[in-house]
Every structure is written in structure tokens, then in C-alpha cells.
């Protein structure tokens, strides 16, 4: 039986692993742990197909420990006892590394059966889970382990794995054949895999199986072949190309224009392309740029939705993302904040705005009074309504106005309040 492509090209070193640079990049914590050969009990938390098993294999090779694999969906306490029986034998001279996949399916008794051996160091546990370990792993195991969160793989990184897989197929299964794979096909498989390298590699393998060589020994994997292999519609979408920015532009303009139907449509395009990072970033920008002070709580709600989406991954991520989009599209709008900061930045870049007024300078050090720093400052909280009129802008721009209250209910309420307070000063 032929070994699956994903296993055949499984990385042997950390440098070959795609993604997870926040953990295994140069100088990052997990890489340092592995290279120092002092591996603690660990829990790898993240979606499927992002390198958890691969890195566990690399750790086993690096440490020289005997690697045992168990899947908690089918394993039992008896399986753990069988592993324990090998301890102190010739087969486990350097200890055992137990890779326990889907640990959330072990009950409390099963998880506790590992504790004694985790504590004496005879078993080094690397448990993996797609669920939040703080909810599904018992405290006794959790407190003896270091949790590492694995992220979805960026499509650009998945493309690298697919290109490496194509080279592997050329050198093995299709040696002597003229093999070509369209860039669009690689890009499509990377984008529709939702950050799962294994899924993308499986799609590539299916594409090759479904494409027999012609009489001239040529094999060509086209975009159409990739679409059939993934069973997902191809979108005109290139993260570094015009279509990417066109969709994002239409997405933001639809929200800004308060059209929830169009906004959800363009969200669906982005979701179909698997572009979670761009969606999340753009929603946070829109919260501040287009809704702004008209509904200042929006950014907090959107941040919660974004965090949920990043933790859930697709397909479930579409739900909090839709919630955020509809909230923003139907919220009152104000661009007063971005207009104010951009106007201030323009002055700083184009003119001499002058020095900070003396009474506003730091006075919390010896000698400040001799320099006249802070001596004439009026503390607003000492005055009625916590306000007193004094100059805050530098002399060169003392009468400049950057912020204009928006015409929405929230900002107009603030305007009425401050007009009343400042009228008597």
C-alpha cells in the first residue's frame, strides 16, 4: 500500500516545517527547547494539519527517545500500561516520548494514569488537541505541561509545501514524465485548504491520480483539475494581486455604505477563499475608521468576534465574522477620528509645529521649576466640572482645530456637554 503523499514529504527538520514561525522561528521558545534537548511535557493546541505531529516526530528524532503514538479516540488505559511496560528496558533506554493525539477524548482516569510517569520523567508527554486544553485537559496534567498554540498555516506557506510535494512526485512516482502544475492550481489548493497542509497535499495527490499521462508521457495539472480535486469553486482571488484588494475594497465600502447584504456577500467571497487574517484585520480597521466615535463600543465587540473566529477557524469562524460585519454595516458611522489624526500628522510632516508649552512639560524632577517647567499648569480636577481653560497646543498652532464632532447621536451629545461646560470659561 502506497504511503500517503503527506507522510512521504513530512519535514525531517524544523527548517523544513512550514508555518508556526512564532514557535519554531529563530530564537523562538519551542525551537530553543528542542535544540537544547530539554523537552518538557507539552500540549500542542491548534487546528488539524498545521504541523503538530510533524514537530513531535522531529522532537523524538532529536532527543533519541522511543516514540509511541496513541490516539485518544481509540486508546485505553491498557495501551498506556503496555507503553509503561517498556520503561527501563533496552527498548526505552533514553525514556519514552508519548505522542497522544486528541487528548480531549481521554477521561479523567485515563489522563491521571500518565501522571506518575510524567513526574519521574520516564514518559515525556506531547499531547495534541484541536480543542481549548484549558477546557478539556484536567488540571493535574495541564499544570505539569507547557501549552503551545499552533496557528492556521498561511496560504503562501502551504504553496511552498505543495511545490515541494510536486518535486517529490516528479522524482518518485513520475520520474521520466514531463510534469507541469499551473501556478493557479497550486494557489487554489492552498487557499481552499483553510490552513490545513495535509488537506492541501491530499488534494494534490488526488489531482495527480485523476490525471493520467498522455501518449507523450506528459502530465498537466490545471486549475480545472485542482477545482475538481478539491470540490470547491475556483475564485478569481490572489492575495498579492488586484482581485484580493478589489474584494477587500468592496467589502469595506459596503460596510461604510451601510449595506449589510453587500457586506455579507463580500465576506462570503473572503471566507470561500479562506482568507481569515485579511478579514479580521479589515474588520478592526473599519471599526475605528468608519464607525469610530459614532458607536465607540463597536471595536470591542468586533475584537471579541475576531478573537473567536481566530480560535475557531473555518468553517465555524464564519459565524462570529458575519455577526461583526452585520453589526458594523448597520451601526451609525463617523470618520471624525481618522480625519483628526490624519490632519495632525499632515501638520507634523509639513510644518514646524513648535515646542511644547512650558506649563505642560514634565515637572517631576529636581530643577524643573528653575526651568519654568510645569509651574503655571492648572490641574483641571481642581476646578468646577473638572475643566479649566488653558493652552495645550504649541504656540505655532495654538488655534488649530483638528477634531470636529460628528453629526451622530454619541458625538453630538458630547458636543452639547462640552459647549455647556466651556461656555462659562
pLDDT in tens, 360-383: 888 887 777 778 888 889 999 999
**What average pLDDT does the segment 12-32 reach?**
92
Residue 235 confidence (pLDDT): 52
**What average pLDDT does the segment 304-310 reach?**
94
Assess whether 108 and 126 both reside in one domain: yes
**Which of 55-69, 313-327, 353-367 tops mean pLDDT?**
313-327
What are the pLDDT digits (tens) for 174-211?
Answer: 888 899 999 999 999 998 887 889 999 999 999 999 88
Residue 241 confidence (pLDDT): 46
- Percent of the chain scoring above 90 in pLDDT: 52
Residue 336: which pLDDT band, with cuts at 50, 70 and 90?
very high
In-domain check, residue 237: no
* Backbone φ and ψ of 264, nearest 5°: -65, -35
Domain extent for 211: 155-230
In-domain check, residue 64: yes
Residue 246: which pLDDT band, with cuts at 50, 70 and 90?
confident
Residue 287: which pLDDT band, with cuts at 50, 70 and 90?
very high
Assess whether 286 and 370 both reside in one domain: no
Residue 398 confidence (pLDDT): 92
Assess whether 298 and 405 both reside in one domain: no
Residue 319 confidence (pLDDT): 96
- Among the candidates 330, 345, 370, a domain finishes at 330
pLDDT score of 238 more than 70: no
Residue 1 confidence (pLDDT): 57
Assess whether 65 and 113 both reside in one domain: yes
Assess whether 127 and 24 both reside in one domain: yes
Residue 339 confidence (pLDDT): 96
Residue 232 confidence (pLDDT): 67
- Among the candidates 149, 169, 187, a domain finishes at 149
Assess whether 268 and 226 both reside in one domain: no
Assess whether 29 and 105 both reside in one domain: yes
All three cell numbers of 179: 510534469
What are the pLDDT digits (tens) for 384-417?
Answer: 999 999 999 999 999 999 999 999 999 999 999 9
The CB density around residue 399, as the number of other CB atoms within 10 Å, is 7
Assess whether 29 and 144 both reside in one domain: yes
Residue 243 confidence (pLDDT): 66
In-domain check, residue 121: yes
Assess whether 140 and 24 both reside in one domain: yes
Assess whether 125 and 30 both reside in one domain: yes
pTM: 0.56
The domain spanning residue 396 has which CATH number?
A: 1.10.3710.10
372 compared with 17, residue with greater pLDDT: 17
Residue 128 confidence (pLDDT): 92
pLDDT score of 335 more than 50: yes
| Torsion sign across C-alpha atoms 415, 416, 421, 422 | positive
Mean pLDDT for all residues in the chain: 88
The domain spanning residue 31 has which CATH number?
A: 3.40.50.300
In-domain check, residue 54: yes
**What average pLDDT does the segment 340-356 reach?**
93
**What average pLDDT does the segment 47-51 reach?**
88
Q: Is-cis flag, bond preceding 315, omega within 30?
A: yes
How many domains, in total, are found in the chain?
A: 4
Assess whether 260 and 195 both reside in one domain: no
Amino acid at each position: 500500500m502506497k504511503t500517503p503523499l503527506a507522510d512521504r514529504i513530512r519535514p525531517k527538520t524544523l527548517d523544513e516545517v512550514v508555518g508556526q514561525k512564532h514557535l519554531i522561528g529563530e530564537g523562538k521558545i519551542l525551537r530553543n527547547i528542542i535544540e537544547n534537548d530539554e523537552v518538557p511535557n507539552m500540549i500542542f493546541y491548534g487546528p488539524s494539519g498545521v504541523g503538530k505531529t510533524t514537530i513531535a516526530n522531529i522532537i523524538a528524532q532529536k532527543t533519541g527517545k522511543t516514540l509511541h503514538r496513541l490516539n485518544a479516540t481509540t486508546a485505553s488505559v491498557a495501551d498506556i500500561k503496555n507503553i509503561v511496560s517498556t520503561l527501563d528496558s533496552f527498548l526505552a533506554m533514553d525514556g519514552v516520548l508519548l505522542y497522544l493525539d486528541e487528548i480531549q477524548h481521554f477521561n479523567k482516569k485515563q489522563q491521571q494514569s500518565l501522571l506518575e510517569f510524567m513526574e519521574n520523567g520516564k514518559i515525556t508527554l506531547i499531547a495534541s488537541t484541536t480543542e481549548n486544553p484549558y477546557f478539556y485537559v484536567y488540571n493535574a496534567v495541564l499544570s505539569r505541561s507547557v501549552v503551545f498554540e499552533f496557528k492556521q498555516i498561511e496560504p503562501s506557506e502551504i504553496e511552498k509545501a505543495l511545490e515541494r510535494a510536486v518535486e517529490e512526485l516528479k522524482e518518485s512516482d513520475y520520474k521520466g514524465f514531463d510534469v507541469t502544475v499551473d501556478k493557479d492550481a497550486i494557489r487554489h489548493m492552498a487557499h481552499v485548504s483553510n490552513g490545513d497542509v495535509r488537506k492541501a497535499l491530499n488534494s494534490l495527490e488526488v489531482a495527480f491520480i485523476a490525471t493520467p499521462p498522455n501518449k507523450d508521457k506528459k502530465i498537466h495539472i490545471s486549475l480545472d483539475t485542482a477545482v475538481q480535486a478539491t470540490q470547491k469553486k475556483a475564485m478569481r482571488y490572489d492575495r498579492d494581486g488586484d482581485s484580493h484588494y478589489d474584494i477587500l475594497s468592496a467589502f469595506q465600502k459596503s460596510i461604510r455604505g451601510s449595506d449589510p447584504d453587500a457586506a455579507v456577500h463580500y465576506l462570503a467571497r473572503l471566507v470561500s477563499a479562506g482568507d481569515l487574517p485579511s478579514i479580521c484585520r479589515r474588520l478592526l480597521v473599519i471599526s475605528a475608521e468608519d464607525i469610530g466615535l459614532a458607536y465607540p463600543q463597536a471595536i470591542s465587540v468586533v475584537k471579541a468576534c475576531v478573537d473567536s473566529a481566530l480560535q475557531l477557524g473555518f468553517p465555524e469562524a464564519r459565524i462570529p465574522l458575519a455577526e461583526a460585519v452585520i453589526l458594523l454595516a448597520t451601526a451609525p458611522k463617523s470618520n471624525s477620528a481618522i480625519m483628526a489624526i490624519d490632519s495632525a500628522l499632515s501638520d507634523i510632516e509639513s510644518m514646524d509645529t513648535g515646542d511644547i508649552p512650558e506649563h505642560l512639560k514634565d515637572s517631576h524632577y529636581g530643577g524643573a521649576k528653575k526651568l519654568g517647567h510645569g509651574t503655571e499648569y492648572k490641574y483641571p480636577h481642581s476646578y468646577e466640572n473638572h475643566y479649566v481653560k488653558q493652552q495645550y497646543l504649541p504656540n505655532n498652532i495654538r488655534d488649530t482645530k483638528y477634531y470636529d464632532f460628528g453629526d451622530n447621536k454619541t458625538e453630538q451629545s458630547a458636543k452639547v456637554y462640552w459647549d455647556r461646560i466651556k461656555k462659562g470659561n
